[in-house]
Amino acid sequence: SAQILAGATTNNVWRYAARLVKGPEGTLTRLNDSYLAELMRLRTGQKLRVTLRNALPEPNIAHWHGLHAPAEADGHPAYAIDPGESYVYEFEIRNRAGFYFFHPHTHEATATQVYRGLAGGIIVNDAEEDALGLPSGEYELPIVLQDRSFTDDNQLRYDVGMHERMIGFQGERILVNGKADYAQDVASRAYRLRILNASNARIYKLAWDDGSPITVLGVDGGLLEAPETKPYVMLAPGERLDVWADFSGRKAGSTVVLRSAAFAGAAPKMAERMQRMMGGGAGLPAGGDFPLFTLRVTRETTDSPALPKRLSKPHLPRLEEAANKNAPRPIAISEAPMAMLINGRPYAFDDWLPIEKIPLNTTQLFEIFHQHGGSHMGMGMSMGGGMGGMGMGGGMGMGMGMGMGMGMGGMMSMAHPIHLHGQQFAILSREPEMVDEEAYATVKDGFVMSGLKDTVPVFTGERLRIVKPFDDYAGSFMYHCHNLEHEDMGMMREFLVG
Ligand code: C2O
Ligand code: CU
Ligand code: CU
């Protein structure tokens, strides 16, 4: 068992400090001596017992993102504990090998609590993965991506007005494992990079700056059946990527940089235009082009493992069969200046729509899509009313009012990373139904469609079909946008499984 203390560090940064109370069920390692929680290593089949102690001045509850846990161990906001209290989680690790993570899920405080530092990675291993002999130990690099802004005296700064909340917080610096200007020494051989986007809202377009493709081993819920290469990979908040990075043949002294390349659609088109008009603004705009971290080759070696041709046995058949039998349940995304909604409503505890009641031990098909103005009177009105609040001039507001009447979809709408708690899902299809072709061309080759996912960005005009099992545990499970500012604005709903 382990104990996690939610507390403040000397700089008033918050931290989930983990320690083993009784072993040897797993290991904990401090990542880079930063504010991040210790990286947990666990094994499929083991029992986990964690006591969370809350030494913060406000309520807190931790959620195990991507782990298949019973409802009472899933960090539902209803279980948040007050300062001074403790909460015991007890469950078995039923997931495949993969990279998961934990972060708070406190009602309307998830964004601020994660921003202040509360987050940690969990690597699960299993026998199927062990047999592959993938790079491990010093050749397996956890990479936790976050963006932050700082005050002049180097303290965390989080100012989010209406405009920032709509787009989601975009920090001025990139942190890797809690450090800015991150660089890591490597040998000239193959590495395994375990990348987690733990940013509040920033979407990355991961690309090697020498133009070589990205070799993908796995995604949120573990290894793919076989490696895939992509020119670049989109990684939204909550998503993970398992990358084979081979530096074989590189000379000592050379460097390799992973960057986030420019793309459109991370913010509403209207905001992207404003940004261009105003000359980009401070810091790193959503969809901007900037380096993430540097790998410096410091040691030459010819001793490197080979990339396996196959990685895991097929894990999709049962899901595909279920998909043919069921009518899809909708997950409809809609946006308004003062609200972000799913299925037409903001989050409310115990407020299940019929489509959100899921029979236990079934597999369900969902369709995730953007629902636009037209049919929604209330939404059209709140948009008109909210423009002043976004800090645009009056003339601008008028122009937008007209644009909205004519189907404001593209102007106001943006990508949302949709996350479902519980077991991972498979993506069956991704239709660019009503996309802006020019914007879409900047992201469309960066989606990994195979493998098991728990979070998926849905760009404007896209319609996705996913299929997901609901086994073992009855109760209330969240699904929401993993843009944490959006989540806290109510872009969250829950399923009642049972
Ligand atoms: Cu990563 Cu409901 O959260
Ligand atoms: Cu989650
Ligand atoms: Cu969102």
Q: Is 419 in the pocket of ligand 1 (CB under 6 A)?
A: yes
Q: Is 269 in the pocket of ligand 1 (CB under 6 A)?
A: no
The answer to whether 341 touches 334, Cβ cutoff 8 Å, is yes
Q: Is 105 in the pocket of ligand 1 (CB under 6 A)?
A: yes
Q: Please report which ligand is nearest the Cα atom of 118.
A: 1
182 CA to centre of ligand 3 in angstroms: 28
Q: Is 103 in the pocket of ligand 1 (CB under 6 A)?
A: yes
**What pLDDT score was predicted for residue 24?**
64
- 456: pLDDT strictly greater than 70: yes
- 83: pLDDT strictly greater than 80: yes
- Nearest atom within ligand 1 for CA of residue 455: 1
**What pLDDT score was predicted for residue 291?**
97
Closest by CA position to 147, among listed 200, 193, 205, 208: 200
The answer to whether 97 touches 180, Cβ cutoff 8 Å, is no
- 397: pLDDT strictly greater than 70: no
Query: What tokens were used for 40?
Result: 């947990």
431 in helix, strand or coil? strand
**What pLDDT score was predicted for residue 124?**
97
Residue 165, φ and ψ in degrees, nearest 5: -70, -35
**What pLDDT score was predicted for residue 326?**
74
Give the Cα separation of 364 and 342 in Å (integer): 18
**What pLDDT score was predicted for residue 282?**
62
- 352: pLDDT strictly greater than 90: yes
- CB neighbourhood size of 196 (10 A): 27
Q: Is 238 in the pocket of ligand 1 (CB under 6 A)?
A: yes
396 vs 121 pLDDT, higher one: 121
Among 16-25, 92-101, 296-305, which is the least confidently predicted range? 16-25
186 CA to centre of ligand 2 in angstroms: 32
The answer to whether 128 touches 313, Cβ cutoff 8 Å, is yes
The answer to whether 263 touches 491, Cβ cutoff 8 Å, is no
Instruction: Categorize the per-residue pLDDT at 318 as very low, low, confident or very high, splitting at 50, 70 and 90.
Output: low
Among 44-48, 90-94, 120-124, 267-271, which is the least confidently predicted range? 267-271
- 164: pLDDT strictly greater than 60: yes
Pairing of strands 190-197, 140-150: parallel
196 CA to centre of ligand 2 in angstroms: 13
Give the Cα separation of 149 and 285 in Å (integer): 12
**What pLDDT score was predicted for residue 1?**
84
Determine the average pLDDT of the residues in 188-199: 98
Closest by CA position to 72, among listed 83, 60, 61: 61
**What pLDDT score was predicted for residue 116?**
97
**What pLDDT score was predicted for residue 279?**
63
- Tell the residue nearest (CA) to atom 3 of ligand 1: 65
- 394: pLDDT strictly greater than 60: no
256 CA to centre of ligand 1 in angstroms: 32
483 CA to centre of ligand 3 in angstroms: 5
28 vs 300 pLDDT, higher one: 300
How far is C-alpha 9 from the geometric centre of its chain's CA atoms?
Answer: 25
Give the Cα separation of 89 and 53 in Å (integer): 11
Give the Cα separation of 454 and 491 in Å (integer): 16
- 387: pLDDT strictly greater than 60: no
pLDDT in tens, 426-452: 999 999 999 999 999 999 999 999 999
pLDDT in tens, 262-289: 999 999 888 888 777 776 556 799 999 9
Determine the average pLDDT of the residues in 202-216: 97
Any idea how long the chain is?
498
The answer to whether 464 touches 429, Cβ cutoff 8 Å, is yes
Query: How far from 60 is each of 63, 104, 118, 227, CA to CA, in Å?
Result: 10, 6, 10, 39
pTM of the shown model: 0.92
